[in-house]
Amino acid sequence: MHQSGAPSRKVAVTAASVRNIEVLLITIVQRARTTGMHSGMPSRRRELLNRWGFNSASI
């Protein structure tokens, strides 16, 4: 019983970690969307974009 249980537990752990990564990505995307597009971009991020050679007009 232990031997048959081990692989399924491993699969469950893997599925859980994948789920966590998905949630993390979704959170980041949503946060980027809300802070970036709708309201004015945080000055720090705009500063970074300017440093990388993007100007505000191209966004």
**Whether pLDDT at 2 is above 70:** no
Q: Encoding tokens for residue 28?
A: 């980041």
- Asked if 39 and 32 count as a contact pair (C-beta separation under 8 A), the reply is no
Query: What pLDDT does residue 57 have?
Result: 52
H/E segment holding residue 15: helix 2-32
What average pLDDT does the chain have? Answer: 73
Query: What pLDDT does residue 59 have?
Result: 47
Domain hosting 32: range is 2-58
pLDDT one-digit tens code per residue, 6-25: 678 888 889 889 999 999 99
Number of alpha carbons in the 13 Å side-chain half-sphere of residue 35: 11
Q: What's the total number of domains in the chain?
A: 1
Q: What is the rounded CA–CA span in Å between residue 50 and residue 54? A: 5
Q: What is the rounded CA–CA span in Å between residue 47 and residue 27? A: 23
Query: What pLDDT does residue 40 have?
Result: 54
